[in-house]
Amino acid sequence: MGFLKPHKPSDYPSLLLYILDETHITVTLSTALTILYTRNAHVIWFAIGALNSSLSAKLLKELIRNPRPPPPDPTSSISKIRPKRTYGMPSTHSTSLTFYFIYLIPYVRYLPFPLDILGGIGLTGYWLLGLWSRKQLGYHTWEQIFGGVAYGTFLALSWRLVYNKYPFIGSRIQYITDIVWSRIFG
């Protein structure tokens, strides 16, 4: 148990659920590394949208104020993990994971074979397992999870539509990125 993580892996019903509960770390790190590697305006726009999906879902929770499911009986062997103290609708993880999934899945087809198939299976599997984990850990009801799916889908489609409709967004982001990169790294 640490300061930043109140639960240790042995507190979880399985190692898989522990890993899935850490999705925010793996996804954020992967996104940051992709930005640094590509320095691409569309990747940066996508990352801003992903951050927006998470923060706006948290704001929406405060407006909706739908409680999380009650904790399991303390004597149960389900899990030592107890529900969080914030509201549950929509699930922030479900919103963010769905934003990633809906935004990225159309681009998988541009990967060379067999990476396109493997990428599609991997992305879909990670998304579905992430949604399943929120229920299994007792953090959310299915309604809260599907609320996150609906909200994440809306945000991803809207975010991509704006980027495609207004090409100057990409050119401005790329211009700023190139300036910042050249000033920092020469």
Residue 1's pLDDT band, with cuts at 50, 70 and 90, is: very low
Q: Alpha-carbon distance 111 to 108, whole Å?
A: 6
High-pLDDT (> 70) share of the chain, %: 89
Q: Alpha-carbon distance 31 to 44, whole Å?
A: 9
Q: Which of 127, 92, 105 is nearest to 46 (CA)?
A: 105
Where along the chain do its domains lie? Answer: 15-70+83-185
Q: Alpha-carbon distance 179 to 186, whole Å?
A: 10
pLDDT, tens digit (0-9, with 9 covering 90-100), for 51-74: 999 999 999 999 988 888 877 666
The CA distances from residue 59 to 2, 13, 55, 91, 136, in Å, are 27, 30, 6, 11, 24
pTM comes to 0.85
Please, are residues 49 and 109 in contact by the beta-carbon 8 Å criterion? no
Q: Alpha-carbon distance 40 to 31, whole Å?
A: 12
Total residue count of the chain as it appears in this document: 186
